[in-house]
Structure 1
Amino acid sequence: MNTDTDLLWSPGPRELEHSNVADFMTWVGETRGLRFSGYAELWRWSSTDLAGFWSAVWEFYGLDAVSGYDRVLGQASMPGADWFPGARLNFAERCFARATDTRPALVCLTEDGTPEETSWQELRRQVADVAAALRGMGVEPGDRVAGYLPNLRQTVVALLATAAVGAVWTACSPDFGTPSVLARLQQARPTVLVAADGCRHGGRTYDKRPDVAELVDGLPTVRHLLAVDSLFPAPTEPWSARPDVRRHTWSALPTAEGPLAFADVPFGHPLWILWSSGTTGIPKGIVQSHGGIVVELLKALGLGVDLRPEDRYLFITSTSWMVWNFLVGGLLHGSTVVLYDGSPTYPGVDGAWEIAERTGATVLGLGAAYLTAAEKADSRPADTYGLGNLRTVLQTGSTLPPSTWHWVHERLTPGVRLQSICGGTDVCSVLAGSTPLLPVRAGRIQAPALGVALASWDPEGRPLTGEQGELVVTAPLPSMPLHFVGDPDGARYRASYFDTYPGVWRHGDWVTVDADLSVVVAGRSDSTLNRSGVRMGSADIYAVVDRLPEIADSLVLGVEQPNGAYFMPLFVVPADDAELDDALRARIVSAIRSGLSPRHVPDVIVRIPAVPRTLTGKKLEVPVKRVLQGARPGEVSSPGSITHPEMLTWFAEFAAREAGAGRPADG
């Protein structure tokens, strides 16, 4: 009888003997003479013998037939590591390397639409047409091409065509406000803008042509507009009045005269620019390389997620989240990538499960907020939808309460594995995540990812086991940024990751790494709750408070004050018509006191209309904390990059009232 109530899933013979990572271990044994007793030994080798591990990834995935290299790691310092000098490859070319005639490359679905399949042959033809058009516009290697696009087939085609040319891709989703888009794309200085005429969300259609005109007017470097006519008739009038911008219509592009050609670029040639959320100042433009992304996503999706060519890989995401790039990376494995343009809660909370059923998804990626909402709604996906193809669920974006782990295990098809992954835009990949070789336990990420020298450190740089500390990476990764946009001396790059521990990457998360390598992420380290030296992550508070049926959402902050006092407010959004009265406050306090720590009972519990979040669903803990410390709302957030931006003004007014009343002392 199993008495381990937190044990949700255990590997079986297939995972232990025939998963991708098991095959990799067998291959390493046969070709390198190395034997590993299990994942822990494999990880320790991968994170210490960088040359040995990454050269094995290179050969295991057939890159040795594509290009040689001078050495694996020319320089190992951080920042500035020099990976695979002498190697040459192209991300787009590698995305077609495992193409097959038996399965589609893409399956695309919109709200109320029918899934549409795109074969590998058709995808190649469309990429060739757009690549030829870009070359005809004068785009050369190193130039920037920007997308203002939802999650469409054309978006994938535009990315692959840009990469094929050797140009640099960057994108923003149309759900961003135009000021937020301009805050990003003006830094990128694109010569071509690929823009959709509209988008769908929550049952509504939005005409984005006026926004596109505003973007073109605000991007003086743009010389060509490629208009994607996906929702409205092909344009007969220009979307912008700028006479120096030539408009091209996607549906009217000429057929390429020759086959798809790929620029032969060095390993470190820039591939794309990803953007930070823009909630702590001007968004950071994070530049990553062709080679770094290829080897990282081959490893992360293949050896971690266990993605296979026969998979249908769906991640509910917008094009502004790095998860979209992580999704497109499925093409590197010959998998069918499923693109959904719309809301996962349309027409109801079970929208994502319906999408998975209609597209036959085998691998489904979701944000934590969606899963917790489904749990609260008492959703029963397996009883309602045909999810027999689904074998694994990826979860990311923020921490997941243990109760939601159990909900996923209980309410989905038996045997479905929940993979919680922690990483970020900074590396466009996973730092700690899943492996089919280890059991899954509620509330715990299974282990550091292969090749990631992950650790928990105290403020003095001492490693911790079983205690919360800063998440650090002590050795370089191939997909770490080449540099930031507009940061010629690297000062902003170094300040973002290397100021706290020189030469060591500080990720900005508060993490516990146990002796069995399991990882618990407690939230951002710069929003950690620190009462009288006792630290706790905000996720711990949410796991208790959000379980109460009267609470729909919550935001907790630890605010250090200039006079040395410490103010810890808890803001709650009551569910339905619940009233935040003394009785409910008492229940919240009792739950925190008994379930967590008497030290972390909030100083005040305040009702708010909504919790502001980034557009990828993360609560705005640090920006709101800065507002409570006196920053102006406009200083902490880029317009259009958050939900409920009016709440920042609300918090500023709250801070002013609290300053007049006096702040509570550290409790």
Structure 2
Amino acid sequence: MTAPDWTPPSTQPRPYRIEEFAQLASTPAYAGRDLAGAVAGGGVEGYDELWRWSVDDLDGFWRCVADYLGQGLVGPALTEERMPGAVWFPESRVNYARTVLEGRPADEVAIVGLTEDPGATRTLTWADLRAEVAGLAASFRSLGVGEGDRVVGYLPNTPDAIVALLATASIGAVWSVCGMDYAASAALARFEQLEPTLMVHASSYVHGGRTHDRSAVVDELRTALPSLRATLEVGSVAWEQAVGTTAELGYVDVPFDRPLWVLFSSGTTGKPKGIVHGHGGAMLEQAKVAALHFDLGPGERLFWYTTPSWMMWNFVVAGLLTGASVVAYDGSPAHPATDQLWAITAEHGVTATGMSPAYVAACQKAGVGPQDHDLSRLRRVGISGSTFPAVSHRALADALPPVVQIASISGGTDVVSAFVGPAPTIPVWAGELSRPCLGVAVNAYDESGAPVRGEVGELVITRPMPSMPVMFWNDPDGARYHDAYFDMFPGVWRHGDWITLTDHGSVVIHGRSDATLNRKGVRMGSGDIYEPVEALPEVREALVIGIERPNGDYWMPLFVVLADGVDLDDALKTRINDAIRAHASPRHVPDVIIAAPGVPHTRTGKKLEVPVKKVLLGQDLSGALDPGSVDAPELLDWYAEVGRSH
């Protein structure tokens, strides 16, 4: 087996929660075998035994998860196993907000709200949070919002957004939110599908030392959403009266699969899809990842840099399901200094923090990072959003205290959770994700649907997960839902990522399968090229595209965004090609290297490989791409011109 780059510390002041869970799972009511001993003493072998049980006995595993987390679910877990359409916990009635809020110690901190202004910290105890949710829920009812109605938020990442979500959930209404960096067109492309009853909004957000006034966007949204009965502005007199209302905190208990929230796809390859998750599925799956994979619980604190538009915001809220406290930050990750996220992690005693590979790389190139801060409470650094190169992983590990685990995860908005990632009891290999998550039947298939090992295949999930969507919004016959995941392999979830399952059990993510390079029949992941190229100090970012030409040729250009003052001369091109050849293979070397003014991304930071490929091919994206979902839509015009010239 390949030697890992990190192994769990030999001493631990208390059992990891995954070990506590394995002790419960070992009782006759669930597995009735020594899973506890396996996990405590077996390293990866012990985890692998626990994982095998978790996907072989879905009913026993998920009943055990619910009992361990105190979620009060009754009856069998999985009564109809099919994809799509699995039936989970049909005898249970639940409410996501109840599970978050009940049984928490009144005086302990639940949420720390931060902005770029260090003097603007706002702290909510569990008692404060319950009181504000109760008051806001009562105000929602007084505005005519009831079970099944949609409440939308146009909000920054503040405690108020979490309060609004929990108030919505508590009354059985359905929540959806966009961050305030979204243009009016992007927000409307999502909200107008839902025909919302109420909009909660702010008037501004903070980023990069500036307060960005969004009142004109709010006015446009209010005018363009005729279904609205009311709007409520955070910070206004009406808002303060609403959250300050003295009310009893009650809950509408609903069936396990009743819609909780609607998350939307990026909107970069068509109209954003409204992905609907149920109260029970989101509650159960996200709490599992938070507690068992990130070891979160009472006394722990979670901070993940995100905006409300990204599923990681929902995951941060899910930290509350374990009794941990969370940090909500409205601001730039690099203001007032590049290492702002590390400064927050240190100052606020964060035990699990999260960020993107791009942020880690920016800190490394600036010569700042965790080495400059007191991270004595930190135990885990989560990495998500894109592939994390091994060279960046090892550089980050060198700057962290040895006890800290770098915890890369990969999943998606589709399941509002992770498919593969870490566990506190198992090792980490740089550039890889340690294992499939518990209860997630991960496999890699070739094009014929046969499992493959040690080579690139499609990421598939062969048995149901509780947080798979209950439906897509406005998809009455389920056709769009089926086509999104089950068209290639009937009855098996195809996620759209290329992965390799390694000989030591880890998972390597190569990127989206619909953007994967395929040179003369050999499939290659773009991440294998980005890693060595973006490690060069002269290169800020890279984008590689594979183009199938009508004459059968294959053209693979590499676009590079250069550091200030750097020119793309022949010497630098040679260095880039040599780095790719040494790190990957000669087959990965591009046909041409082109200096680019930038790389366009989704609002959550993912490179737009598929839309760029389409514009290079001369396709018109005006009807399929919402410019508001792209951080720099004008760059697509530049790439279109490159396509025309080639």
TM-score range, shorter chain: over 0.9
Gapped runs of 5+ residues in structure 2? 39-45
2:255 corresponds in structure 1 to 266
1:561 corresponds in structure 2 to 549
Cα distance in 2 for residues equivalent to 1:345 and 1:489: 45
Confirm or deny that 1:437 pairs with 2:425. Answer: yes
Query: How big is the shift at 1:637?
Result: 2.4
Local SS of the residue matching 1:105 = strand
Gapped runs of 5+ residues in structure 1? 236-248, 659-667
2:632 corresponds in structure 1 to 644
Confirm or deny that 1:620 pairs with 2:608. Answer: yes
Local SS of the residue matching 2:484 = helix
CA contact (8 A) 2:275 2:473 kept: yes
1:116 corresponds in structure 2 to 122
Which residue type is aligned with residue 51 of structure 1? D
How many correspondences in the alignment? 634
Query: How big is the shift at 1:564?
Result: 2.5
Confirm or deny that 1:9 pairs with 2:7. Answer: yes
CA contact (8 A) 2:380 2:405 kept: yes
Cα distance in 2 for residues equivalent to 1:574 and 1:255: 52
Which of 300, 308, 315 is the aligned partner of 1:319?
Answer: 308
2:580 corresponds in structure 1 to 592
Q: Which stretch of the first structure deviates more once superposed, 6-15 or 41-50?
A: 6-15
Query: How big is the shift at 1:563?
Result: 3.2
Q: Which stretch of the first structure deviates more once superposed, 608-617 or 98-107?
A: 98-107
Cα distance in 1 for residues equivalent to 2:428 and 2:349: 24
Query: How big is the shift at 1:68?
Result: 2.2
Cα distance in 2 for residues equivalent to 1:195 and 1:597: 51
2:342 corresponds in structure 1 to 353
2:43 corresponds in structure 1 to none
Cα deviation digits, residues 590-636 of structure 1 (max 9, x gap): 22223222122111111110110111111111111111222214245
1:75 corresponds in structure 2 to 80
Cα deviation digits, residues 136-160 of structure 1 (max 9, x gap): 1111111100000000111000000
Runs of 4+ in 1 over 6 A off after TM superposition: none
1:514 corresponds in structure 2 to 502
Local SS of the residue matching 1:118 = strand
Query: How big is the shift at 1:103?
Result: 2.0
Which residue type is aligned with residue 24 of structure 2? W
| Distance change >3 Å, CA 335–CA 497, structure 1 → 2 | same
Query: How big is the shift at 1:391?
Result: 1.4
Cα deviation digits, residues 436-468 of structure 1 (max 9, x gap): 121112111110000000011100011011111
Cα distance in 1 for residues equivalent to 2:436 and 2:103: 28
Query: How big is the shift at 1:67?
Result: 4.3
Cα deviation digits, residues 487-542 of structure 1 (max 9, x gap): 11111111111111111001111101124321110111111111111111000000
CA contact (8 A) 2:9 2:403 kept: no
Local SS of the residue matching 2:297 = coil
Cα distance in 1 for residues equivalent to 2:276 and 2:5: 39
Query: How big is the shift at 1:73?
Result: 1.4
Sequence identity (%): 48
Cα distance in 2 for residues equivalent to 1:489 and 1:544: 46
Superposed, 1:43-82 pairs within 5 Å as 43-63=51-71, 66-69=72-75, 71-82=76-87
2:33 corresponds in structure 1 to 34
Local SS of the residue matching 1:27 = helix
Q: Which stretch of the first structure deviates more once superposed, 530-539 or 372-381?
A: 372-381
Which residue type is aligned with residue 109 of structure 2? P
Cα distance in 2 for residues equivalent to 1:97 and 1:447: 33
Local SS of the residue matching 2:614 = helix
Cα distance in 1 for residues equivalent to 2:102 and 2:619: 50
Confirm or deny that 1:152 pairs with 2:141. Answer: no
1:245 corresponds in structure 2 to none
Query: How big is the shift at 1:102?
Result: 4.5
Which residue type is aligned with residue 56 of structure 2? T
CA contact (8 A) 2:107 2:127 kept: no
Confirm or deny that 1:168 pairs with 2:178. Answer: no
Local SS of the residue matching 2:94 = coil
| Distance change >3 Å, CA 596–CA 55, structure 1 → 2 | same
Which of 94, 105, 112 is the aligned partner of 1:107?
Answer: 112
Which residue type is aligned with residue 111 of structure 1? E
Which of 187, 190, 193 is the aligned partner of 1:187?
Answer: 193
Query: How big is the shift at 1:254?
Result: 7.0
Superposed, 1:339-488 pairs within 5 Å as 339-382=328-371, 384-488=372-476
CA contact (8 A) 1:558 1:568 kept: yes
1:21 corresponds in structure 2 to 18
Cα deviation digits, residues 294-316 of structure 1 (max 9, x gap): 11112111111111211111111
Cα deviation digits, residues 171-196 of structure 1 (max 9, x gap): 00000111000001111111100000
TM-score, scaled to structure 2? 0.96
CA contact (8 A) 2:67 2:73 kept: no
Cα distance in 2 for residues equivalent to 1:390 and 1:634: 46
Local SS of the residue matching 2:290 = helix
Cα distance in 2 for residues equivalent to 1:481 and 1:80: 9
Q: Which stretch of the first structure deviates more once superposed, 557-566 or 169-178?
A: 557-566
CA contact (8 A) 1:97 1:332 kept: no
Cα distance in 2 for residues equivalent to 1:11 and 1:22: 14
Which residue type is aligned with residue 345 of structure 1? A
Superposed, 1:171-320 pairs within 5 Å as 171-229=177-235, 234=236, 249-253=238-242, 255-320=244-309
Cα distance in 1 for residues equivalent to 2:94 and 2:425: 31
Cα distance in 2 for residues equivalent to 1:97 and 1:12: 35
Local SS of the residue matching 1:463 = coil
